[in-house]
Every structure is written in structure tokens, then in C-alpha cells.
Amino acid sequence: MELVREKEFVNQYHYDARNLEWEKENGTPQTNFEVTFQLVKKDEERNATTIVAVLQFTIVRDEFVISGVISQMVHVKGRIVNEPSEFSQEEVEGLAAPLLDMVQRLTYEVTEIALDRPGVKLEFKN
């Protein structure tokens, strides 16, 4: 499977300082990641599929919560994809990797500015 990726697109990125009093009344947010795929085009003549990979995330840390949506259009050459469920776990992780990298970059920069100290480095594990 050959992938041709377009530039990542930051649909939303939100930083909130933790408000523990508010959380007592309204509940503590939970860390969550969800990767979905939207079929854009199937080109059977060229044996290619165009999809949009979408990462929705919430990351809860001691001092802050970040959340957002980052997406990327990906052209899959040499394969027709009818349903996102056809991707193996390894393929899903590969498709999501640039989106996670963008979350890491944004978080490092934003926390460096917001907290006035070296930025927070996120590490994602499979």
C-alpha cells in the first residue's frame, strides 16, 4: 500500500488550564483518542482510494486539558478501500502517526508558552 499524504490540517486545538473546582461539580475529563476514516473517492480505473484520516483527542494532564481534531487527506495507491474496517491495526497506526506527531508538536509549543517553562513532551504508546 503506497500512501501519498497531503498536509495535516488542524481543525481544532484547544488548551484549558485545569479547574478542579469546576471538575468537582461537573466531572473530571478523560483522556481519549479516536481515529476515523472518511472515504472521499474510489478510483477503480487507477486502483486508488482517497480518504481523510481524522484524529479526535482529549488529553488530560495534571495542569491542563488539551482537545481537538486534526485531519489529513491520504491517497492510497494500489488498493481500493471499501470500508475503514479493512485497515489492519498496523495500517491504522501508520495512517494516524502524522496526526499524533502534530498533536505532540502543538502541545510542546503551547505548553511552553502557557506554562512559561520548557514544553510538555507527549509520548504515545501503542
> pLDDT per residue over 7-40, tens digit each?
999 999 999 999 999 999 999 999 999 999 999 9
- In CATH, what number is assigned to the domain containing residue 47? 3.10.420.10
| CA-CA-CA-CA torsion sign (68, 72, 73, 76) | negative
The answer to whether position 120 is within a domain reads no
**CB of 58 within 8 A of CB of 36?**
no
**pLDDT, tens only, 82-107:** 998 999 999 999 999 999 999 999 99
Which pLDDT tens digit goes with each residue over 39-72?
999 999 999 999 999 999 999 999 999 999 999 9
pLDDT at position 126, please? Answer: 57
CB 6 within 8 A of CB 74: yes
Please give the tally of structural domains in the chain. Answer: 1
pTM for the predicted model, two decimal places: 0.91
Q: Confirm whether 29 is domain-assigned.
A: yes
The whole-number pLDDT of residue 98 equals 97
The predicted pLDDT at position 87 comes to 93
Structure confidence at residue 125 as a pLDDT band (50, 70, 90):
confident
**Which domain does 49 fall in, by range?**
2-115
